[in-house]
Chain A
Amino acid sequence: MQGEQMESDVAIPRRQPIRWHIAVFLAPAVVIYTAIMILPLGGTLFLSFYKEVQGVEVFVGLDNFRTLFGNERWAADFWNALKNNVIFFIIHMLVQNPIGVALAALLSIPKLRFAGFYRTAIFLPTLLSFVIVGFIWKLILSPIWGVTPYLLSLVDLKFLFAPWLGKPGSALIAVSLISVWQYVGIPMMLIYAALLNIPDEVLEAAECDGITGWSQFWKIKLPLILPSIGIISILTFVGNFNAFDLIYTVQGALAGPDGSTDILGTLLYRTFFGFQLQLGDRTMGATIATVMFLIILAGVSLYLFGIQRRMRRYQF
């Protein structure tokens, strides 16, 4: 008898009481987020399985996806946008994030004078609306207004000047760099917060071992801020594959010249909401959105399951 009871105790583990506080902590966020974001967005993504025929939406299965990848024109537009988007992302990873980390490292030097001032000034562009950013940079790079040619002529480099935003070969790079200029504050701030979070004891211990300056950064600080670098990489990825505002403002909805600055976001908005005489095509738009969503989901999952799990975290 007793033996049996013991066995059943082992077989049926005691159930934990329901932890209501978890539900309380999650509820407000989940409710608002589900109602305002997930439901409307879900409704839109489902449209990718439909086609509008004479004002009525008809279920067509995967037909829209076949059109997107099978139709010569659609496929050409899509792959062009994806290619440009990858370039856009690479430029951000290679330029924006290293600069952001470097600036944060400089700013976090203890007792640095004017640090607050520098930080505010460098972060300022991040606060500006893309409407402003787009307009200002179009003016600055404009061959008509002559600001850039003049500045280049001061250092005898005027021959380098070209109407960058108007040339298919350079427009994408120029727009990417404008975007880098605007958003460099985000990695800077995140890394800055992470660097300040490193306890002084750790650094003092390192100094006692004679690790200072550069080697201190590489050997002590960098491993400690790796999780934050992970976050900024994934945020950059998500942000870049959702981007469209800046290109819309600087290069217009057709992302010219000759589609050379068209990224997935601009292709999506043009298709979904229409442009000029082109009417909004909600079902094809939803199809592109679904593909973009899958791309981003793949990237984020890779990060969440592959990288984030393996990353070593240090608790202070």
Chain B
Amino acid sequence: MNRLIKTSLLAATMLSGLASVVHAEDATLTIESWRNDDLAIWKDKIIPAFEAKHPGIKINFTPMAPTEYNAALNAKLASGTAGDLISCRPFDASLELYNKGFLTDLSSLDGMGNFSPVAKSAWQTDDGKATFCVPMASVIHGFIYNKDAFDKLGLKPPKTEEEFFKVLDAIKKDGNYIPMAMGTKDLWEAATMGYQNIGPNYWHGEDGRKALIAGKEKLTDPQWVAPFKEIAKWKPYLGDGFEAQSYPDSQNLFTLGRAAIYPAGSWEISGFNTQAQFKMGAFRPPVAKDGDACYISDHTDIGMGMNAKTKYPEAAKTFLAWVASPEFAEIYANALPGFFSLNSTAVEMKDPLAQEFVSWRKDCKSTIRSTYQILSRGTPNLENETWTESANVINGTDTPEKAAEKLQKGLDGWYKPAK
């Protein structure tokens, strides 16, 4: 008996020794990413799920600060020291990497069929012939509100603009809460949570965005100036010194219960869930009149591609095919509520706030941010200009008309739409 145990132990040791020999030849794939917020989720949930099924492949997630990502990644790719898998920013940043030969064409990858053309458009060549990143997630804009505060004041989430400002007035009059938590210091809050959040209702989502690219509409047209006029009206409802209020300030104001409404992107959900001590709800950008068609910004935000110089192209493709699978979509969407899967297979989400956001997709038409595709290719950069001008409009430095005029002038400086 004893001997038997010893023998089997020996055999087991030998086997495990063999196994480690095999492991030594394993492929270890390094992922480049700017999502350092997600480090724990990758380590604890996503990577173990993959490695359990594919014992020969090891994954190493190495994120860096978002502000450094593009520059650092470009330098590393240029000198061949970048990781095997590359997180892709949408549109031009990744397109440039593909055009320079840093990213592989993944059009024929298993699982690419799981994505709609719209989902893939952020990581395709202009002619749509090559897709070079697997779409991972999109983010939706709207407003998150403090349900406890709304209940206390007897308020209901607004549907129309008129109701929206009535609610803001009521909160302001009550005086216990700052009506809206948003600052203009970091500029992008004003542009992304303000202009791009409510804008699609005015320029009619994809219709307006495409007309702008085609040169049929101009930023000085009423439907493009209107969102500026709206956010200009937000000024009295923001907190004291909002000019110097930064993005984390806004988040803290809301999660500490000092502000009632937070113009949001859905990516906030997981952070807010752990930090806010009150119940939260969400409402979509208000429309002009009850019953108007509604549009939401459902923006393709993150994808993943393969370094053309990777030593393990097969292993990398295996991983990317898994990223394209419904299984990954399920894990990712639930681990990071607010990052919505782009997979055509519907994902069951457990988070109520995330469910609320994603439910808008049924009633409203989705669009992506107006400045992202093609229009930010030249100098001056339309997206950056929109940041500065949105902040200027709220601060009162520029009138909505003046801001729109500046943007259009900058765009005219280099962009000649195909006629």
Contact = CB atoms under 8 A, between A and B. Distances in A.
Contact of B241 (A55, A166, A281): A166
B52 to A, nearest CB: 37
Contact of B397 (A72, A168, A281): A168
B388 A256 contact: yes
B184 A257 contact: yes
A254 B243 contact: no
A73 B245 contact: no
Interface string A154-173: 00000000111111100000
A163 B245 contact: yes
Given A142-B246, A166-B245, A277 B187 contact: no
Given A55-B100, A256-B187, A274-B70, A143 B241 contact: yes
A72 B387 CA distance: 20
Given A142-B245, A143-B244, A280 B388 contact: no
A142 B244 contact: yes
A164 B184 CA distance: 12
Contacts of A142: 241, 244-246, 249
Contact of A167 (B93, B96, B243): B243
Interface string A222-252: 0000000000000000000000000010001
B379 A166 contact: no
A276 interface: yes
Interface string B224-248: 0000000000000001111111100
Interface string A251-291: 01110111100000000000001111111110010000000
B215 interface: no
A277 B246 CA distance: 21
A6 interface: no
B187 A252 contact: yes
A258 B91 CA distance: 26
Contact of A254 (B74, B244, B388, B397): B388
Interface residues of A, number: 35
B376 A55 contact: no
A144 B183 CA distance: 10
A145 B377 CA distance: 38
Nearest to B70: A274
Contacts of B246: 138, 142
Nearest to A163: B244
B46 to A, nearest CB: 26
A257 B243 contact: yes
Given A143-B239, A277-B371, A278-B381, A253 B67 contact: yes
B24 interface: no
A131 B89 CA distance: 25
A177 interface: no
A144 B381 contact: no
B243 A166 contact: yes
A211 interface: no
A140 to B, nearest CB: 11
B40 to A, nearest CB: 22
Given A142-B249, A257-B392, A258-B392, A277 B384 contact: yes
Contacts of B273: none
Interface residues on B, range: 35 or more
A144 B190 CA distance: 17
Contacts of A166: 183-185, 241-245, 395
B372 interface: yes
Interface in B73-103: 74, 91-93, 96, 99-100
Interface string A80-117: 00000000000000000000000000000000000000
B330 to A, nearest CB: 31
B363 to A, nearest CB: 30
A65 to B, nearest CB: 15
Nearest to A284: B379
A19 B191 CA distance: 66
Contacts of B67: 248, 253
B186 interface: yes
Given A73-B410, A252-B186, A277 B244 contact: no
B416 to A, nearest CB: 16
Interface in B163-219: 183-188
B213 to A, nearest CB: 14
Contact of A273 (B71, B184, B186): B71
A280 B383 CA distance: 14
Contacts of A163: 185, 241-245
A257 B376 contact: no
A76 to B, nearest CB: 10
B245 A280 contact: no
A21 B239 CA distance: 68
Contacts of A276: 188, 381, 383-384
B397 A257 contact: yes
Contacts of A165: 185, 243-244
Nearest to B392: A258
Interface in B371-409: 371-372, 376-377, 379-384, 387-388, 391-392, 395, 397
B252 interface: yes
Nearest to B397: A258
A190 interface: no
Given A248-B67, A254-B384, A257-B397, 19 more contacts: A143-B244, A143-B245, A144-B253, A163-B185, A163-B241, A166-B243, A166-B245, A256-B387, A257-B185, A257-B392, A257-B395, A273-B71, A274-B70, A274-B93, A276-B383, A277-B93, A277-B383, A278-B383, A281-B379
18 contacts: A142-B241, A142-B244, A142-B245, A143-B241, A163-B185, A163-B245, A164-B244, A165-B244, A168-B397, A256-B187, A258-B388, A276-B188, A276-B381, A276-B383, A277-B371, A277-B372, A277-B382, A279-B93
Please name the 7 residue pairs, one residue from A and one from B, whose CB atoms are nearest each other, closest first.
Answer: A143-B241, A166-B243, A163-B244, A166-B244, A273-B71, A163-B241, A277-B376
Interface of A: 55, 72-74, 138, 141-145, 162-168, 248, 252-254, 256-259, 273-281, 284
